[in-house]
Amino acid sequence: MTTAQPQKNELSEEESDSRVSRPSSDQAGSTLAIAFFAGVPAVLLLLGSMLMRVPEASGFLGPRFFPVAVGIFLMVTALIWTAWSLHRKRSHTRGSIPKTARDSTADNEVISESDNQVHSNWRTLAIMATTMVGHVVLLQPLGWLISGTLLFWGVSYALDHRRPFFDLCIAAAMAGTVQLAFSGLLDIALPAGILGKVL
Amino acid sequence: MDSFSLLLSGFADALTPANLMWCLVGVVLGTAVGVLPGLGSSMAVALLLPLTFLLEPTAAFIMFAGIYYGGQFGGATTSILLNTPGQSSSIATAFEGHTMARNGRASQALAAAAIGSFVGGIIATTVVAFFAQSMVAFALDFGPPEYFALAILAFASTAAVVTSSPTRGIAALGIGLAVSVVGIDSQTGAVRMTLGIPQLLDGISIVILTVGLLAVGEVLHSGFRPDGTAGGSVITSGTPWLGKTDLRRSWLPWLRGTLLGIPFGAIPAGGSEIPTFLSYGAEKTLARRRGHSQFGQGAIEGVAGPEAANNSTSATTMIPLLGLGLPISATAAVMLAAFQQYGIQPGPLLFQNDADLVWALLASMFLGSFFLLVINLPFAPLWAKLLRLPRRHLYAGLLVFATVGVYSAAESIFDVVLLYAVGALGLLMRRYGLPMAPVLIGAILGPLAEGKLRLAMAASQGDPTVLFDSNIAIGVYTVLVLIGAGFLAKAIRDGRRRDTAPQDGVLSHR
């Protein structure tokens, strides 16, 4: 793919937020998601503050004050967003184009995609997530060289799986270079794992 | 002109071939470490600190100044090329800089950053050299209420000015503030919001949050883009060098950024995050007012301003460090440790007791800025070639560097898990259009705001009027009210426009 076309979609998140998603932001799903983003930490903060063990001498405005204040702030934000999204939803059902409602998953890039691409997106993401979980699990037992190679290879395979062997070579070279740079130049030990016992 | 002759003698110390070489080595090493995501200038200084102890004090600090500036600039390079700021002060640079890189203007962004760093560094170092002692006196006037007012101003301006959707910005700011309370409360020792996980007792590190949200989130999100599936695609690096138009657009932001940055280094208010974001916001507002804003499409002003602000703040951070013995940034804290290692106590008497060392250090800060420009300007197109890598390798490499950078900081696998979890949050936030900057600002300045508020209230026995009991604080709140009023006016105006054109401007309606 050439570069000219994708650039349009890749504005910084700040701008794409206002510029591109503005048409989609009036959809109930997106606004509800933001209410969710604000609501979950709000509940965590308020619950956490209630359960917090406060030391006897904690002076004026103890350790609870700030979390509770932020929690209330977030809760109010979440409630406003919920009310707002429900309001939108109602005005939508009253009279609007059903097509936008179907796109309510809200991301601007997703709107233009076919179902097939959405499917491949999920596949890409699943491979990446598996790779990352695998890396964390294997880092200690297998060592950096192997798990780092897997990390690099997994992500590049997820994004494009046409040249897996070439990618594997790059991945191994990359992990090796990082190992050398960190242990040789910066004097930071990366986990040696099973290779450490062999070498 | 006493300072001038002292500075000249400092230059005499710093300009020996050996010291010049140490400065150069420092800049190169600093840039190299700074380029690794997750390893900002503080990390560069900390990692290379043992190396400097092999040298005598003057040479060590000269190398230090080089590492410091090199690390600052390395952070800008990764921000622009990979959207991965190694430190919080490079976050603002990433917004427009990375967009520029995507538009094939990476070299220009890098050059604007390099020259901006140079301008900011040189002007601010001059200020430090000549006004350090009087600025120490000004900084001593800042008490808890003033810091709290500054933090509130920073919150309001990031939520409202930096992000284009204030309502989402507010939600994001709240998330950042929520993150900031995780860990042991520094004033009472109470354990807060750790969910019983012992590794969270120290809180969530800003490095993990930054790298997770911006880098890992970006890697994960790349899979969600239509073009992300075509991993073989490349971004062109474009023609090198700044054109005349770019220079004309950059020189004022450089100077404005520098002016914004200078005072923030002198007052201990949380490092260079506030001035970089203020500069970004100011340039954005000015561009909008001029009518042909390119913000969002890679505005060079958005790189030039914050980078100049960043470096000028870094330079003036030396004022409280040298004059008060008060380290403002993590980097300054490491440098304080280095001073103590040599048996030197920074403080009001330093300028008398260790004048030779101080002036050699100040002179080498000039040299460090100069080397940074000389080394990095020719390399800008070379760095930009990094973008010719196949995208799948770029993203994979990004994740590898982010992982290894975060792991090596504390050699903790839990940190990597946390990094990936934050990355997942970053992915979700991207999908629902929540801005990242307010989260980071909330997390960085949350503890400052909370700590100062509680100190102020404790000092006044719970009387909230103490918060408004100084001219500086009232001045800051006045600015805040002005911003708020301007914003409200804009919202009303947009609302009116919305009435005439019902399809547009949904978000500005509240």
Q: Which of B4, B50, B421 is nearest to B208 (CA)?
A: B421
Helix (H) or strand (E) holding B184: strand B183-184
Nearest Cβ partner for B400 among A22, A30, A152: A152
Q: Is the pLDDT of residue A123 over 50?
A: yes
Question: Minimal CA–CA distance to B434: which of B381, B347, B501, B507?
Answer: B507
SS3 B95: helix
- For residue range B294-314, what is the model confidence (pLDDT) as tens digits? 777 778 888 888 888 888 888
| The pLDDT of residue B20 is above 80 | yes
CA distance linking residue B196 with residue B216, whole number of Å: 25
- The full DSSP string for B362-388 is HHHHHHHHHHHHHHHHHHHHHHHGGGG
The model carries a pTM of 0.73
Residues in a beta bridge with B340:
none
Contact B453 A144 (CB under 8 A): no
ipTM of the shown complex: 0.78
Nearest to B400 among A140, A148, A188 (CB): A148
Residues of chain A contacting residue B191, judged by C-beta atoms under 8 Å apart:
52-53
Percent helix / strand / coil, chain A, rounded to 5: 75, 0, 25
Interface contact B395-A159, CB threshold 8 A: yes
Q: Which structure tokens are listed for B399? A: 């994740």
Nearest CA in chain A to B102: A7
3-state SS, residue B484: helix
B28–chain A Cβ distance below 8 A for any pair: no
Residue B342 in this model has a pLDDT that exceeds 80: no
DSSP B237-306: ----S--HHHHHHHHHHHHHHHHHHHHHHHTTSSTTHHHHHHHHHHHHHHHHHHT---TTS--THHHHHH
Q: Average the pLDDT over B174-202 and give the result.
A: 87
Q: What is the mean pLDDT of residues B48-58?
A: 72
Of B104, B167, B190, the CB nearest to A58: B190
pLDDT at B493: 78
- Nearest CB to A160 within list B232, B400, B446: B232
Please report which confidence band the pLDDT of residue B175 belongs to, taking 50, 70 and 90 as the band edges.
very high
- Whether B247 contacts chain A with CB within 8 A: no
User: B441 and B155 in contact (C-beta within 8 Å)?
Assistant: yes
Residue of A13, A27, A108, A146 to mutate for B, most B C-beta atoms under 10 A: A13
Strands B183-184 and B191-192: antiparallel
Cβ pair B152, B448 in contact under 8 A: no
Of the given ranges (B59-68, B81-90, B144-153), which has the lowest mean pLDDT? B81-90
The secondary structure of B5-41 as a DSSP string is: HHHHHHHHHHTSHHHHHHHHHHHHHHHHHHHSTT--H
List b or e across B88-119, with b for residues whose CB sees 16 or more CB atoms inside 10 angstroms.
bbbbbbbbbbbbbbbbbbbbbbbbbbbbbbbb
Least Cα distance to B261 among B104, B125, B124, B147 occurs for B124
Those of residues 378-397 in B touching chain A at CB distance below 8 A are 390-393, 395-397
Mean pLDDT of B8-14: 81
Instruction: Give the pLDDT of residue B77.
Output: 82
**Mean pLDDT (whole number) for A171-189:** 81
pLDDT grade for B89, boundaries at 50, 70 and 90: confident
CA nearest to B454, candidates B145, B64, B218, B150 = B145
Minimal Cα distance from B509: which residue of A?
A84
* pLDDT tens by residue, B370-399: 888 887 777 767 776 766 777 788 788 888
